Chains A and B, each alone.
Chain A
């Protein structure tokens, strides 16, 4: 049974198609990377799976439950890492994690919170510092820790490596691979072709709201993918 499925999923904004008849199926343990230019429909796809916006037609399902905007029954299976992880600058890393975990219904001990932050790659000396002094990469790690703490089956990531330096991107890639190895499913929207090949198990190329290509990463090199991507867009 696929963890995540889109069936003829479409979304229009004021008559303009942002997503057209998307059919997508992602199995447990897969990392599916969506590539495409700005406006190709990557973020719209993620928003539809999160129930942030209502589909014009078709349906999106998570663990075979249809996602609806006014129903949070699928939310417990999903963790989300936005493009910009700001969180609360006046709260420390551990306080942010505690708060977002509590919202998801999890109450962890200080040790468990620290363990999640460490697992996300945040050094222990940063755990009790306020996020206002954190770099984008460090904030991203707290965002990952929030996703880890939720222990969700599916993690939706919207351009998570945007603005990260190569080291932070590499660390992030490792974390994603570890999560997939633990059986987590990841859908990631990204502009980064090389990272997509590196981290993903499958890659989809989107253009003007349509999924034009779907590839297995073990069947294509980064250079070939880049060539295909440039030809497609």
Chain B
């Protein structure tokens, strides 16, 4: 019976004029998106590699230099690019792309690509993920909105019932057969994307297949949920036109209105403090620490006394303490200042990040109401283009900044220079000993864990669908 329903649904669907028109348009869009992603990826990858190499080259070739000058000159971290970003660019267009690392300050990442775009393009990139999240559901509606109510309207349901069809088989048969058609359309899209990437991007053999499979499987679940809901709506609503209007209204609400509402609700419920308030609080806490550049600073003096005590120097006997000390105190003071500043930055940035995480939590929990929000977050997570991945980059960058500045301060302190000798320079070979920034590679499990709420929501939707189909089967009447 299921085989017959599959065959009938397939034949009927593929002979429908709107599918015959829309399917080639969809394939054309797949191609446009694939080429668009390739161009964007190549541009970003070239810029990234060029900028990264250029910064490293400048670092290595700075010649003899005072380490603290180098610390002020700083280092740059760029938004990394990976193959999964071809499929889902996530929040990357809206997140900053360049982070300057320097002594004394933890800067914010700046220059988001979206800032340079026109108003319209700021609404989001047209990616394969966007097509799967937004356009395919529209196809699902067009295929399924009248799947059952049209059978009721033209009395086929009565005839089918008289022929002895089981309503459970009928509904599940409709869901599975229509889902298979949708899956075919989506698989065609994935194959087109991967083929275009492989042909037009040299050396892109390093695709993480497991990640792609898991990523696509999450969409398979998403399509199954939406197909089920659409078929069920068609069973509950007796008129095809009404079913179409209701389902299109749901599409607009779930795909366009609700994401905006949840984002706005997040900002309203967990407001972010104003930049000036943040800066003031940061400055006040920062001023309580040591001023690494002002030897008259009270706390700097205290720190100096502790150094003298540590090296057991009798200040009554020694006229020039600094000349006797085996270390450059300036380097030690600056590192002490860094250690304190790190505590201050950790405290204030943690607050900001926690606020953003709380704001995002609204959309995470809203996944239990809207499966689109669930798949959007899961897709971005697996693609490493979500806020968690962005935070991971910022965290790793900050760890590197601390490593870098400590290395430079230690060189100042223990490298052989004397206190107050700001003209002292390290050998040109020293720069090679400082390791380059290693861009983080987040394990898949960590990505999935950071989206555990959304994954639970998907599971919840599957259970809800099974229960709803069972209840509908029991309650559905052919009249």
Question: What is A's interface to B at a CB cutoff of 8 Å?
Answer: 47, 50-53, 72, 75-76, 78-80, 82-88, 90-91, 95, 99-100, 102-105, 130, 143, 146, 150, 156
Q: Is the CB of B164 within 8 A of A85?
A: no
Q: Given the complex, which residues of A lie within 8 Å of B154, measured CB to CB?
A: 84, 86-87
Least Cβ distance of A227 to chain B in Å? 33
Q: Is the CB of B159 within 8 A of A53?
A: no
Q: Is the CB of B164 within 8 A of A90?
A: no
Least Cβ distance of A1 to chain B in Å? 22
Docked CA distance A90–B1 (Å)? 20
Give the interface segment out of B11-19, B69-77, B445-453.
Answer: B11-19
Docked CA distance A223–B160 (Å)? 38
Docked CA distance A159–B456 (Å)? 53
Known A-B contacts A53-B479, A83-B155, A86-B156; the reply to A103 vs B11 at CB < 8 A is: no
Q: Is the CB of B7 within 8 A of A146?
A: no
Closest A residue, CB atoms, query B8: A99
Q: Given the complex, which residues of A lie within 8 Å of B15, measured CB to CB?
A: 90-91, 130
Known A-B contacts A88-B12, A91-B11; the reply to A102 vs B159 at CB < 8 A is: no
Interface positions of B from 1 to 25, Cβ below 8 Å from A: 1, 3-4, 7-8, 11-12, 15-16
Docked CA distance A145–B275 (Å)? 77
Q: How large is the interface on B (under 10, 10 to 19, 20 to 34, 35 or more residues)?
A: 20 to 34
Q: Given the complex, which residues of B lie within 8 Å of A87, measured CB to CB?
A: 154, 156, 159
- CB 8 Å contact bits of B127-160 with A (1 = contact, 0 = none): 0000000000000000000000000001110111
Docked CA distance A104–B163 (Å)? 5
Q: Given the complex, which residues of B lie within 8 Å of A102, measured CB to CB?
A: 1, 3-4
Shortest Cβ-Cβ A-B pairs, 9 listed: A86-B154, A80-B162, A102-B4, A90-B15, A75-B164, A104-B163, A82-B155, A103-B163, A99-B8
In the assembled complex, 6 residue pairs joining A and B whose CB atoms fall closer than 8 Å, in A order, are A50-B161, A50-B162, A86-B154, A88-B12, A91-B8, A91-B11
Question: What is B's interface to A at a CB cutoff of 8 Å?
Answer: 1, 3-4, 7-8, 11-12, 15-16, 154-156, 158-166, 477-479
Least Cβ distance of B457 to chain A in Å? 34
Q: Given the complex, which residues of B lie within 8 Å of A99, measured CB to CB?
A: 4, 7-8
Least Cβ distance of A199 to chain B in Å? 21
Least Cβ distance of A107 to chain B in Å? 9
Known A-B contacts A88-B12, A99-B4; the reply to A75 vs B163 at CB < 8 A is: yes
Q: Is the CB of B160 within 8 A of A103?
A: yes
Docked CA distance A84–B12 (Å)? 20
Closest B residue, CB atoms, query A92: B11
Q: Given the complex, which residues of B lie within 8 Å of A146, measured CB to CB?
A: 159, 163
Q: Given the complex, which residues of B lie within 8 Å of A75, measured CB to CB?
A: 161-164
Least Cβ distance of B60 to chain A in Å? 69
Q: Is the CB of B155 within 8 A of A103?
A: no
Q: Is the CB of A52 within 8 A of B479?
A: yes
Q: Given the complex, which residues of B lie within 8 Å of A103, measured CB to CB?
A: 1, 4, 160, 163-165
Q: Is the CB of A80 within 8 A of B158?
A: yes
Least Cβ distance of A161 to chain B in Å? 16
Q: Given the complex, which residues of A lie within 8 Å of B160, measured CB to CB?
A: 100, 103
Closest A residue, CB atoms, query B164: A75
Q: Is the CB of B16 within 8 A of A52?
A: no
Least Cβ distance of B167 to chain A in Å? 9
Known A-B contacts A53-B477, A99-B8; the reply to A72 vs B164 at CB < 8 A is: yes
Docked CA distance A130–B16 (Å)? 12
Q: Is the CB of A90 within 8 A of B16?
A: yes
Least Cβ distance of B143 to chain A in Å? 13
Closest B residue, CB atoms, query A74: B164
Q: Which of A47, A82, A90, A105 contacts B159 (CB 8 A)?
A: A82
Q: Which of B8, B11, B12, B478 contacts A52 (CB 8 A)?
A: B478
Docked CA distance A52–B477 (Å)? 7
Closest A residue, CB atoms, query B474: A70
Q: Is the CB of B158 within 8 A of A52?
A: yes
Q: Which of B161, B164, B477 contacts A76 (CB 8 A)?
A: B164
Closest B residue, CB atoms, query A54: B477
Q: Is the CB of B11 within 8 A of A78?
A: no
Docked CA distance A80–B15 (Å)? 27
Q: Is the CB of B163 within 8 A of A100?
A: yes
Q: Given the complex, which residues of B lie within 8 Å of A90, measured CB to CB?
A: 11-12, 15-16
Docked CA distance A136–B12 (Å)? 20
Q: Is the CB of A85 within 8 A of B165?
A: no
Q: Given the complex, which residues of B lie within 8 Å of A156, measured CB to CB?
A: 162
Q: Given the complex, which residues of A lie within 8 Å of B478, measured CB to CB?
A: 52
Q: Which of B3, B158, B166, B477 contacts A82 (CB 8 A)?
A: B158
Least Cβ distance of A45 to chain B in Å? 14
Q: Given the complex, which residues of A lie within 8 Å of B165, measured CB to CB?
A: 103
Given contacts A75-B163, A82-B158, A82-B159, 20 further A-B contacts (CB under 8 A): A47-B479, A52-B478, A75-B161, A80-B159, A80-B162, A80-B163, A82-B155, A84-B154, A84-B155, A86-B156, A87-B154, A91-B11, A100-B159, A103-B4, A103-B165, A105-B164, A130-B15, A143-B159, A146-B159, A150-B163
